[in-house]
Amino acid sequence: MVREWDPRTASAAEVESLLETLNAVLSADLPDDPPWQDGALREYLSEVMPGERRISWIAQEEPAADGTPGRIVGHVNVLLLGDIGVLDLLVHPDARRTGLGRRLLATTAHRAYQEGFSAIGVEVVGGTPAVGFYRSLGFTREYVETRSVLRLAQVDWAAVADMADEISPGYQIEFCPDGPPEHVIDAYARAKSEARDADSGDGDLDLRPSSYDPQRLRDSVDCLHRRGMKPYIVLARHVDSGEVAALTEVVVPAQHPARADQYDTIVRRAHRGRGLDRTIKARMLLELRSAEPKLAEVQTWNADANEAMRRVNAELGFQPDRKWCEYGADVAELVHRLDKAG
């Protein structure tokens, strides 16, 4: 049974059942990833930025003879933003190859089409069954990154401390444990905007969009907190101008608190060549070591063409893990293919 589902009003038993299926998928497809916890999972699945909407469906087994609700064996949601719907779909390993994934996708694609969205995108992890699934349905690979993982137990902390102390003259480093403070929000937005302009045309579908203006940044930090995701930021400020010359962002999710997510690391063009990227990332690791004593790993994603950042990550101890791809499809064409296939 497939039905529309609202995590805000779902029962605790349904949220727990979905968590069990999510962890079964992780165990099958990404066995080295830490299992998720029911830490703000409901909020993670429901909270969105202003102007965005998220619609969810579940696939649930029939109730048992004694009336016990059946387990949730599939889930899909689509985040509607801009002119694209961002898809997230999972099917329990026990229910794969039954047509359930295709059915969930068809339900989502029809809704996106009805809502007037022209494109749909999805992140696909290399080496998992999702690659063949989406290719078979006409999705096209648009962008590729490599995920790398840093295991903190293996970090050379003395070397990291030395890197953090290598501050280029004319700059000061600031640690911001709750996101960009108000007094730098405008300068922070300018740095993000410059990076967006530089990266335009690289094929990235922006399935994990950043915020590039001050109010969107405030809304983004607020949304992270509401979703149970604690942000940490390290800035390099240019002393003479006060501008944000470089920044790096890490989020520690309540859903998997042992593994943090590294978001953007940006060095503005006029300030490159001074080692700021390495300094701020090293400082971030030192701060996380103190602020998050239960943290065991940090994961990050980098385009293969970004050799400078890959080199910095290697110096810090990050190890390449898997390809992480963005696939996209035209909504109308996808609906036609799915309907034709029956």
Q: Does the pLDDT value for residue 96 go beyond 90?
A: yes
Distances 238 to 27, 262, 275 between C-alpha atoms, Å: 45, 23, 13
Give residue 3's pLDDT band: very low, low, confident or very high (50, 70, 90): very high
For 273-306, write each residue's pLDDT tens digit.
999 999 999 999 999 999 999 999 999 999 988 8
**254, 37 in Cβ contact below 8 A?**
yes
**285, 237 in Cβ contact below 8 A?**
no
- Give the per-residue pLDDT at 212: 75
SS3 for 40-99 is CHHHHHHCCCCCCEEEEEEEECCCCCCCCCCCEEEEEEEEEECCEEEEEEEECHHHCCCC
Look up residue 38 and give its two tokens.
Answer: 């029911």
- Give the per-residue pLDDT at 206: 62
Distance of alpha carbon 205 from alpha carbon 271, whole angstroms:
27
For 164-192, write each residue's pLDDT tens digit.
999 999 999 999 999 999 999 999 999 99
SS3 141: strand
What would the mean pLDDT of 58-86 be, rounded to a whole number? 92
Average pLDDT over the chain reads: 93
The identity of residue 18, as a single letter, is L
What domains does the chain contain, in order, with CATH numbers? 2-145+326-341 (3.40.630.30), 156-316 (3.40.630.30)
Order of all β-strands in the sheet with 53-60:
2-5, 53-60, 72-81, 84-91, 119-125, 319-330, 140-151, 297-303, 259-267, 244-253, 229-238, 171-176
Q: How many CB atoms lie within 10 A of CB 198?
A: 12
For 106-135, write each residue's pLDDT tens digit.
999 999 999 999 999 999 999 999 999 999
- Give the per-residue pLDDT at 211: 67
- Give the per-residue pLDDT at 330: 96
pTM for this prediction: 0.92
Give residue 36's pLDDT band: very low, low, confident or very high (50, 70, 90): very high
What would the mean pLDDT of 62-78 be, rounded to a whole number? 91
